[in-house]
């Protein structure tokens, strides 16, 4: 690959990202999780209270490392938030709540610990820190993005990654919803001073608008390829993957088939195939 990578990614993953955001990297690297899950520790510089977004997998060492980092920075964790319910982001939430005594807030009621949930348009405030809740379904039905206006940043979970592009997989992933979510983030970046992407996996991105525009262009190109494959006679997701994803590691083809099913559903729903 030549030229700069989209989004202007940071050289490393983990550590201080903005004035209010610090990443503790979970030890769960894989082709799907990249370097591992980014657990975000957020706090106003002069506050004793902190918020954790996505405690990550059920890994006792990682959960305790997040708590230790907060203590090292003179913070007490007061709240846990989830971007969505996939295990690599949320599996450790119940144990983390035990360790910290914090409620867990999420869009999906099944993931909550405590009386309060989350919904689009909500503003969460802890120790002067302000997070605005943005619904961004598509990767999953319960996906949320958190806007941190003081840092001009968004915490995107798996909706936008620090490297590569996001899987939108059948049946939970809905491509139409996902494209609408990307357009919502594009407007946020263009109109409200959002510069930085704090993703659920991979490095921090310094060009939020450029990243989202790249994602939208990538999705349009993939849809065109799938449409062409169908017109050429491909009748199953497996056949489409063999044609469109021929350059992808074959070990990832089963996941690619789920992505193709979501794309085929989108094309069918819009009368394009």
Sequential DSSP letters for 31-94? TTTBT-BEEEEE--TT-SEEEEE---SS-HHHHHHHHHHHHHTT-EEEEEE-S---HHHHTTHH
**C-alpha 117, offset from chain centre:** 19
Q: Which two tokens stand for residue 144?
A: 């949320």
**Catalytic residue (choose from 54, 59, 88, 172):** 88
Which residue's structure tokens are 């968004």? 154
Domains and CATH numbers, the chain: 15-207 (3.60.15.10)
pLDDT in tens, the chain (273 residues): 345 678 999 999 999 999 999 999 999 999 899 999 999 999 999 999 999 999 999 999 999 999 999 999 999 999 999 999 999 999 999 999 999 999 999 999 999 999 899 999 999 999 999 999 999 999 999 999 999 999 999 999 999 999 999 999 999 999 999 999 999 999 999 999 999 999 999 999 999 999 999 999 999 999 999 999 999 999 999 999 999 998 888 888 999 999 999 999 999 999 988
Task: Give, as one character, the DSSP assignment of residue 157.
Answer: E
**Residue 88 is a catalytic residue:** yes
Output the pLDDT for position 4: 66
Output the pLDDT for position 257: 94
CB count within 10 Å of CB 106 equals: 23
**Contact criterion met (CB below 8 Å) for 60 and 95:** yes
Output the pLDDT for position 267: 94
Output the pLDDT for position 226: 96
d(CA 249, CA 167): 15
Q: Which two tokens stand for residue 32?
A: 């799907």
Q: Minimal CA–CA distance to 196: which of 145, 141, 140?
A: 145
Output the pLDDT for position 2: 40
Task: Give, as one character, the DSSP assignment of residue 24.
Answer: E
Output the pLDDT for position 100: 98
User: Can you tell me whether residue 243 is helix, strand or coil?
Assistant: helix
Q: Which two tokens stand for residue 87?
A: 């295990």
Output the pLDDT for position 211: 97
Strands (E), the chain: 15-16, 21-25, 38-42, 49-53, 76-81, 104-105, 123-126, 129-135, 144-148, 153-157, 196-199
Q: Which two tokens stand for residue 162?
A: 């620090």
Output the pLDDT for position 248: 84
Which residue's structure tokens are 């319960």? 142
d(CA 103, CA 214): 36
Output the pLDDT for position 1: 36
Question: What are 22's strand-pairing partners?
Answer: 16, 41
């Amino acid at each position: 690959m030549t030229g700069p990578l989209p989004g202007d990614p940071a050289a490393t993953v983990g550590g201080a990202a903005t004035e209010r955001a610090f990443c503790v990297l979970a030890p769960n690297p894989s082709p799907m999780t990249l370097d591992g899950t980014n657990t975000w520790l957020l706090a106003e510089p002069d506050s004793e209270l902190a918020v954790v977004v996505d405690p990550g997998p059920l890994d006792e060492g990682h959960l305790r490392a997040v708590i230790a980092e907060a203590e090292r920075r003179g913070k007490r964790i007061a709240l846990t938030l989830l971007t969505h319910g996939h295990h690599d982001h949320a599996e450790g939430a119940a144990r983390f709540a035990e360790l910290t005594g914090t409620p867990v807030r999420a869009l999906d009621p099944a993931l909550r610990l405590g009386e309060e949930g989350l919904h689009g348009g909500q503003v969460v405030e802890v120790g002067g820190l302000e997070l605005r809740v943005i619904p961004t379904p598509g990767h999953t039905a319960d996906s949320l993005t958190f806007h941190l206006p003081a840092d001009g940043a968004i915490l995107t979970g798996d909706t936008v990654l620090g490297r590569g592009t996001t899987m939108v997989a059948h049946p939970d992933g809905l491509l139409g919803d996902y494209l609408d979510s990307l357009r919502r983030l594009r407007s946020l970046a263009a109109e409200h001073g959002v510069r930085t992407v704090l993703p659920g996996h991979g490095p921090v991105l310094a060009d939020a608008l450029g990243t989202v525009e790249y994602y939208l262009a990538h999705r349009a190109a993939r849809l065109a390829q799938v449409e062409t494959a169908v017109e050429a006679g491909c009748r199953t997701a497996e056949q489409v993957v063999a044609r469109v994803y021929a350059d992808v590691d074959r070990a990832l083809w089963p996941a690619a088939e789920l992505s193709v099913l979501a794309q085929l559903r989108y094309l069918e729903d819009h009368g394009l195939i």
